[in-house]
Structure 1
Amino acid sequence: MLRKLYAWTMALAARKAAAWWLAIIAFVESSFFLVPADVLFVPMVLARPKRAYLYAAIATAASVLGGILGWMIGHYAFETIAKPVLALYGKLDTFDELAASVNWETILLLLVTSGAAHLPPIKVVTILSGVANFSLFWFIVSAIVARGARFFALAWLLNRYGEEMRHFIEKRLSLITGIAAVLLIAVYLAYHFLR
């Protein structure tokens, strides 16, 4: 199923309406879709480098709006909508583990790491934020910062290094996201223990 979704998403990058598809995928990725918007974003930026920052803005705005939907699903409709969606994607156990040990600071950290590096998946954290009654204002601020940083940094890298960067990212995506998550967690721990 994942391979078919990936292939379908890649085919969308070649369409004239690719920017609309990017917005749709970035929106639904933040609340329930399995494939990250990056698989459409990267080929779009490589095909039209002059539109890289426009695509980054579209992806950021749509992702934040999708995150708000995820927050609302978690806050208002966890049992009827969120729980079956999380179970469908095999993320219910991850969600339950996170929910058992969260506080305000943990959710903020998770929003930043998932927004910037997909660790844990953004849809899990947006729903968790709603369930935990995390401030919608701070949710939106952190989503804009984390998702914006991700898409604009990726746009800059792809604009600057093009095809070489795409191959580098594809080969080492897990390593890159892991390092980013470790750095963010280290910053959080340093802040937490030094204050």
Structure 2
Amino acid sequence: MKIFQPCYDMALRWSRHRHASRYLGGLSFAESMFFPIPPDVMLAPMSLSQPARAWYFALLTTLASVLGGIAGYLLGYFAFDAWILPMIESAGYAHKLDTAMAWFKEYGVWVVFLAGFSPIPYKVFTISAGVLQMAFVPFVIASAVGRGARFFLVAGLMKWGGSAMEDKLRQYIEVLGWLTIGLAVLAYFIIKG
């Protein structure tokens, strides 16, 4: 039974929708504050189906993500105790927030660079930065560089891989899907530790 290939085919269809860029921007913005699905699920198939626009999609994703990160920072700064903390606790992210806060205290702005590649969701870092009242300009710069590196890497892999990448993804999508779930579960247990 195939689970991931139908999802992959659906993502490719969505990536060709005339409003796909708007959806990608909205998803990138929302994911930086509260939404659980990362923008890579749209960015990769959009870059794959329209390689000439891959850099545009990566830039759009980066800019929208940084703007969402700024909104997350402001939420953490102004509304953490009254509104955000109860939501984080009910979503089961309290231990991730504690980990992110400890990393901020130890590494400062450098942790935001790594947030783009961390198993801890970026939204936890944006809200934590606001709660800890991290310097705003370094936060924005680190977010742009860290998130941009991730999104341009994804777009570049799809752009340069072309139809060969699409064929390989289609061939191995089930294995990659289960591998990703396995890595997410492993990361969860390591972080929860």
Q: Normalising by the residue count of structure 2, what TM-score does the alignment of the two structures yield?
A: 0.76
Q: Percent identity?
A: 33
Q: Normalising by the residue count of structure 1, what TM-score does the alignment of the two structures yield?
A: 0.76
Note if 1:66 corresponds to 2:68. yes
Query: Which one-letter code corresponds to 2:84 in the other structure?
Result: A
Task: Give the stretch that moved more between structures: 53-62 or 9-18.
Answer: 9-18
> Any idea what SS the aligned residue of 1:34 has?
coil
Query: Which one-letter code corresponds to 1:80 in the other structure?
Result: A
* Residues 29 and 67, structure 2, Cα contact 8 Å, conserved in 1: yes
Structure 1 residues 32-87: Cα deviation after superposition (integer angstroms, max 9, x where no partner): 10000000111111111100000011000000000000100111100233213322
Within 5 Å, which residues of 2 pair with 1:75-86? 75-86=77-88
Note if 1:13 corresponds to 2:3. no
Note if 1:109 corresponds to 2:110. yes
- Unpaired runs of 5+ residues, structure 2, are 185-193
* Residues 31 and 123, structure 2, Cα contact 8 Å, conserved in 1: yes
Shift of 1:176: 9.6
RMSD: 2.8
> Any idea what SS the aligned residue of 1:134 has?
coil
- Unpaired runs of 5+ residues, structure 1, are 178-195
Task: Output the CA distance in 2 between the equivalents of 1:101 and 1:153.
Answer: 25
Alignment length (residue pairs):
169
Structure 1 residues 81-133: Cα deviation after superposition (integer angstroms, max 9, x where no partner): 32133224311122134335642x52423211212x14321000000000011
Task: Output the CA distance in 2 between the equivalents of 1:130 and 1:76.
Answer: 8
Query: Which one-letter code corresponds to 1:17 in the other structure?
Result: H
Distance 1:88 1:164, change over 3 A: farther
Indicate the residue corresponding to 1:143 in structure 2: 143
Which runs of at least 4 in structure 1 moved beyond 4 Å after TM superposition?
A: 163-166, 172-177
